Structure 1
Amino acid sequence: MLFKSISKLIPVATTIVSLLSSSASALEDYHELNDNVLQSCAYIANYEDSYRWPLSEHLKPQITIRYPQSEGVYNADTRVDTLIISYTDLQNVYLKDEPTVKVCDETAINSKVCTFGNEKSIGSRLSLEDMLEEKTNQHAISHFSMSPADKDKNTHSFDVASSDIYCIIFKAEGVTKDKSMGVIIDWQQSFGKLLVSEYHQLYNNLYLTFAYALLTAIYGYYIFKKLSKDKANAVLNHQTIYNRSLIQFKILTYLLGSTIVFFLTCLHLVQLNKIGYQKTSFTLFVIRFFTLSSGTLFNTWAIYNFLLLASGVFFGLVKDNKRHLLVQIISGILLLEFLIYDVDESRVYSLLRGQAFFLSNLIYYELIILFMLSTYCLVSMVPMFKTIYRINLSPLLI
């Protein structure tokens, strides 16, 4: 959430207008076909009959293969034997020409589709012809030959009926010597232009939005009732009421901020699902920067309060202006590092010149060190907390 949180500073109206913009092309892969037998696999989702359909763009799930026209690459004899098959069926098929190059998306990689030597023994597999004749395939299979030189026949589309990992196996023949022939694969998901993992993340953020909104409402109502009761309690002095309400309102602010962050994250992912990653727009870059930087501001605020608590300054346990100043300096440095990372990550302007990964690791280790030191300080101050239990640090801070 630290680097991908969405800005609560972005006007919701701007985001909604962006959602209504026109769609761009789907995710595409480009591969070079030479003398190798190439296998490219990706997960294609058909979520129209799934609980994930409400936020879907309701597109037709399909795979489209096309060959860009390149002068001197193709000739009349150039042919590409092409097989489109689900991985479920591929595991049960014996191929005469096994792939020498395998390319996979994240889902296929996690399913170990791109590893070599994990195929079943030849004796337990059928030939492609036998599988089609016996109709033992679980999903549709398409086997054909394409002629890239023919402009009218250098594109092929394959409709996907059910979700699975689908593989395309290419074997090119007759490619002009010393030339590289490229092929473009358009993997069209039913839900839109997002990666499958990010579409799932969209729903995770939606659930978290509802959860935090519910917690915010319940805790806010509790604070209101408790504060009204405390004001009517003549036994409690104003300082005790202030100490109690201070941390209660900070927790409420955290819950409310988390609700807004997760909600705007949903809007941002819905936007990307509609327009895709390939759309280049300075406005989108700026929006991405604000989504990252606002998450940075919110999380830095949370870190700042945690450091105040760990240093003993939060409740006034330690009267030390130097500690307070140190916490402010540390938080300021973190905020600056986060914002520099956000500028580079949003692609508005590259300040790091390819060193964003180094800065990301630096921030990560800084946070680990701060957490360890803060935890040690908190543990060492447990006796002090016990002596001032009048602040009432119960689980719900009642």
Structure 2
Amino acid sequence: MKALIALEDGTLFEGRSFTGPGEAIGEIVFNTSMSGYQEILTDPSYTGQIVTMTYPLIGNYGVNKDDMESASVHPKAFLVKEYNAYPSNFRSEQTLADFLIEYGTLGVEGFDTRALVRHIRTKGAMKGVVSTVDLDPESLVEKARAWTGLVGQDMVSKVSCREPYGWADNGVVPGTDFSTVQAGIDKPLKVVAFDFGLKYNQLRILTEKGCQVQVVPASTDADTVLGMNPDGIFLSNGPGDPEGAPVVVDTIRALLGKKPIFGICLGHQILGLAYGGSTFKLKFGHRGGNQPVKDLGTGKVAITSQNHGFCVDMDSLNSDDVELTHINLNDGSVEGMRHKRYPAFSVQYHPEHAPGPHDAMYLFDRFLEMLR
């Protein structure tokens, strides 16, 4: 089935759908990971986006329930060079096409993904439309241009949980207190995790390391969190522009200095805003499992998994209060910071390695040391 991909600058690509008819509009971005497409698809940070994979063959190992990073698929569409309809892996339970169809996500193959990626790297991430329904190029380009985009939009409220829940035995446990305990944990550390669009592997790692985790909606106020008397607070990843969620920023600002805080990705950006700084949109973002990051404290370099389109402006922060701790070795952008007076630190990348390398796992241990 013929599909057209139209960018807001008028650039067009022709491919074919492997999931049936459909149309999707969003910000077209690319991910450089060679594997982990299921984790990418179920990452809430991709809400409002159309994901292009740079690795040419996708679908070869299928899909399974254990690699879900949330309860749904979040990109509007999934673009690949070549789709493999016959997965071969002992863990496979479903084909990628059937998985996308189940969640109503359009999948397109059979076009030059390298050309699309090179175009975005030169011009920057763009608004775009993918369609099998409307094949009029002028109509699609106009739809792309008319879309509001992600800047200034509150995307967190679209993906955050509606009710609090716990995590145990690798699954969600409904509840509003710290009554849920992972089997085998003795004297657990209590962590409240703000759900800005979190990935399940963050909860898996925290519980594996001896934490009792209570997940709360992004709209939860500071008094409610402090009333739960946690040992620490975790700020998750999430989609879109952090400046689109000012109420969340105010909540985190009210929690500074009250409990130790660890932020990842959007949680890192929200902390930057809570410190009094600002953020800006990167040209095409960092998305993939091969981003080199240097820890300025130890001098060590970690290869990291990343997925973000915005960045903290370090020059907007008071250097007497906030210290730069990590930098991206590709472009020198901010990858980590810590507060000098409050027990709070954060990183821009994903130490939970889903998908991606395990190099940055030490950050969870660093957080737990703050809680003891």
Q: With structure 2 as the length reference, what TM-score do the two structures score?
A: 0.27
Higher share in strand: 2
Higher share in helix: 1
| Higher RCO (Cα < 8 Å, 6 or more apart) | 1
Larger radius of gyration: 1
